[in-house]
Amino acid sequence: MDSFMECYFEEVFSGIERDGLNVRFKRKELVEYFNAVIAGCARGQNRSDNATCKSFVSCAIRYHNRCKSDNGDVCLMGKYHNLLYIALKLAFDWSLQDNGTVAALLDELYACEGTFERIFLGAIFGTSAPYFLAGWKSDFMDKEENVHALVFFLDHATNASLEYTDGPKTYRFIDVPLESCGKATPVRVVIQMGASEILMILLRFGARITADQVSSNPIESILDRLNEYNRKYPYELVTCLKLSLRAVPAICFTVDKAALKHLQLPNDYNYQRKHALEKYGDILQDHLIPASRCGLKPVELKHLCRCSIRQMLWENFELPFGIQKLPIPPTLKKYLDLCED
């Protein structure tokens, strides 16, 4: 496979126009071609499909690296960069199990783009919508395949303990901001979309529900939207709220204490309680927020234990599959995995 790929890059790939792989159907044609090559090489060399696919992905990464090095460590983009997305699709198509190779591919993508939006946006919006957001179409067949691909790469990124630095901040793969969405984190975009199924996937893998470069806590954005519906709440938004509340100890409201300074409140005054009652009173009355999750009552010990255990698993890159290794009853495993409340 290695010698074939070297020959291909010298004799065939070099003849492709620089923007020759910008459109999706051209990349699809090349993926189909390499699928046939991988299957043929595996049979001809008496190797496993997985080992042959690994060889192709490694060759693609080396070629991209070599071209980048020759250009002063700056990616040439065009067909040279799109080669990485062809490798990404083939890694998924063949369910490549070599964690180091997939991790190296993800690292190479991040070094060029500083984002993984071409993996996330297709799962969130579908195959065509990203074209209007970022000018490209997903390489995966439909939204279902995009979701499967997202889980595939989330699994590899978790197993490889991948983290990425952007200035002073360090992100896990799952929390790297999406450039085309105003640098919002994937979990915030999913919450704003009201996509509860994708939100469940992200939360199970340990996505952080915290303030980001866009605004404050994403849970507050759900509550603000629910307030607009005059107590006729959309099912998807309510589901997103309930799922989010399973993943955090309690809602941390953004309170402007300076605006209340004239009231001369005591130092131990419960600002969270006041804010919840004044701004989200109707939602509280309709029991969409448990009183124990918004400062009105103490948080349940069982829920605090869940959050604490999940935090430890997250720190060790063991979410969500590490839950199954714990010596606890199956019902508690479901509770830890956010499947029940």
Crossing angle between the packed helical segments 117-125 and 186-193, to the nearest 10 degrees: 10
Comparing C-alpha atoms, which of 119, 12, 1 is closest to residue 50?
1
* Same domain flag for 34 and 123: no
Flag whether 225 is in a domain. Answer: no
How many domains does the chain fold into?
3
Residue 4's pLDDT is 84
* Same domain flag for 122 and 107: no
User: Two tokens at 203?
Assistant: 């939360």
Instruction: Count Cβ atoms within 10 A of the Cβ of residue 64 and give its class: 0-12 exposed, 13-18 middle, 19 or more buried.
Output: buried
Residue 264's pLDDT is 56
**Chain centroid offset of residue 133 CA:** 17
Flag whether 271 is in a domain. Answer: no
Amino acid identity for residue 86 in this structure: I
In 3-state terms, what secondary structure has residue 127? coil
pTM above 0.75, yes or no: yes
Amino acid identity for residue 254 in this structure: T
HSE-CB at 128 with a 13 A cutoff on CA atoms is 0
Write down which residue in 165, 183, 215 finishes a domain. 215
* Same domain flag for 13 and 98: yes
Residue 309's pLDDT is 97
Flag whether 262 is in a domain. Answer: no
Flag whether 166 is in a domain. Answer: yes
Three-state secondary structure readout of 230-260: CCCCCHHHHHHHHHHHHHCCCCCCCCCHHHH
Residue 189's pLDDT is 92
Residue 255's pLDDT is 65
In 3-state terms, what secondary structure has residue 116? coil
Residue 36's pLDDT is 94
* Same domain flag for 78 and 89: yes
* Same domain flag for 118 and 75: no
* Same domain flag for 72 and 149: no
* Same domain flag for 153 and 183: yes
Cross-strand partners of 172: 163
Flag whether 28 is in a domain. Answer: yes
Write down which residue in 61, 88, 112 finishes a domain. 112
For the chain (length 341 residues), average pLDDT per consecutive 10? 84 91 92 94 90 94 94 93 96 96 97 93 80 74 94 97 93 93 91 92 94 68 90 93 94 68 58 77 91 89 96 96 95 95 83
Cα Rg of the chain, angstroms: 23
Flag whether 268 is in a domain. Answer: no
Flag whether 27 is in a domain. Answer: yes
Write down which residue in 81, 112, 143 finishes a domain. 112
* Same domain flag for 104 and 166: no
Range of the domain at 39: 1-112
* Same domain flag for 127 and 154: yes
* Same domain flag for 107 and 118: no
In 3-state terms, what secondary structure has residue 94? coil
* Same domain flag for 53 and 128: no
- Phi, psi (rounded to 5 degrees) for 138: -60, 145
* Same domain flag for 177 and 196: yes
Flag whether 70 is in a domain. Answer: yes
